[in-house]
Amino acid sequence: MVRQLRILASQFRVLPDRNALRNPPRQHVPTVRHKLKKRPMKTILPILIILTLVSCNHSTKKTDTDQSEVTENSIDTVLVKIENKIDKPLIDFYAKSYTYCWVANKDTLDFKIGLTEYARDSSVQIRFYHDRPILFSSAIGKLNDCLPEIKQDFNIDRLNSFYFEPPIYYKDMTTELSKSYENHFGDKNISYQKLDEFLMNSWLEEKINEFLRQINKSTKRYSIEKFHLLDKDYYDTYIPGVDLNDYPSFSINGMGISVILNDKK
């Protein structure tokens, strides 16, 4: 019988995770080891199996928790609001100006949202600032995230315009707009009036309206100063170091995208 038990014990040794056995729960180990000296072999085997299972489960849970904490910490950001100082030459032009940005691991992220209230009519403008490309859907998501804070600082009913970087800085935007533009106009430049009409019925209008509906606003018109079509060969002058394989062959381009809004409905 003892020989059979030894054979069984040797078979059980290959099952547990070795790393887990090296680090079993500390609170159980001293008590179990003390009792092992007084128990027969028949009792030892079940205890070994139980210890192995508990240790493996403890090790797996700890690893999963550690990985989750690392991932969560790597994307953890804090919203920071900065009140911009208005110098004397502009004090009659701007009533107030704030920048909303995100900080991760003590570093300020590239994407920022600026809001300005104009002194002449208390109208408000929202502007996106960034040097590196970002998905437009993500940018609108960040705007939604800080909307409660914005409403505390500005009268959102007075919002009358947006200003975004050129489409090339938003991969989802430039992909959708270029595909639709090519279907309608090929690779030819069009007038500013036709461009406005095109954008008013575009993917961009859908995305902006998703935000505007919650504040009872709507788009009045679009404008892209110095509008032209940018060939893919020149993309890297705007977004260097970016993989351009999935980008369209040309992009609507200019100084930026201005969106003028209607008054509150």
- Residue 234: the pLDDT is 97
- Residue 215: the pLDDT is 94
Domain that holds residue 114: 78-261
Instruction: Specify whether 142 is located in the same domain as 41.
Output: no
Instruction: Specify whether 68 is located in the same domain as 88.
Output: no
Domain total for the chain? 2
- Residue 75: the pLDDT is 56
Instruction: Specify whether 111 is located in the same domain as 155.
Output: yes
- Residue 237: the pLDDT is 95
Cα–Cα distance between 181 and 96 in angstroms, integer?
38
Instruction: Specify whether 54 is located in the same domain as 152.
Output: no
Instruction: Specify whether 96 is located in the same domain as 47.
Output: no
C-alpha pair distances (Å), 126 with each of 83, 90, 112: 15, 18, 11
- Residue 20: the pLDDT is 38
Strand partners for 37: none
Is the Cα dihedral 45, 47, 53, 58 positive or negative?
negative
Give the other-Cβ count within 10 Å of 64's Cβ.
10
Strand partners for 60: none
- Residue 22: the pLDDT is 36
8 A C-beta contact, residue 211 and residue 144 = yes
Mean pLDDT by 10 residues, the chain (265 residues): 42 40 38 40 47 43 34 64 90 93 90 96 96 97 96 96 97 98 96 97 97 95 97 96 96 97 81
Instruction: Specify whether 235 is located in the same domain as 199.
Output: yes
- Residue 111: the pLDDT is 96
Q: Which of 31, 57, 75 is the last residue of a domain?
A: 75
- Residue 21: the pLDDT is 36
- Residue 77: the pLDDT is 86
What is the DSSP track for 201-229? Answer: TSHHHHHHHHHHGGGT--EEEEEETT-EE
Structure tokens given for 5: 């038990």
Structure tokens given for 136: 């437009």
